[in-house]
Homo-oligomer: A and B are copies of this chain.
């Protein structure tokens, strides 16, 4: 799961996921078009990291490689990790409020 968090930490990679969400199954060159300020090799590296984190799956098709979004790890993060913090949301805020108040004595 650490790999997923690390992969999501980079803006360019989140952008790539966004673009795949908008149009799934794109090739490396197609994805490069969306990040003009970056070389093909840089994008390729980002895709490798996303693939490593299992956030995308790529299949080779002739000379090109199609990239598909895999939303499952994101779902798992939402379930296993963010869910915990959602549940404690009101508690945490009320704790903080209480602490701030008692600090004013």
Chain A contacts to B: CB under 8 angstroms? 2, 5-6, 8-9, 11, 14, 17-18, 21, 24-25, 57, 59, 61, 66, 68-72, 74-75, 77-78, 81-82, 84-86, 88-89, 91-93, 95-96, 99-100, 103
Other A-B contacts than A9-B9, A57-B96, 14 sampled, CB-CB below 8 A, are A8-B8, A8-B9, A21-B88, A21-B92, A24-B95, A59-B100, A59-B103, A68-B95, A69-B85, A70-B96, A71-B88, A72-B89, A78-B78, A78-B82
- Cα–Cα, bound, A74→B75 (Å): 14
Number of copies: 2
A-B contact pairs, 5 of them (CB 8 A): A5-B14, A8-B9, A24-B91, A74-B82, A77-B82
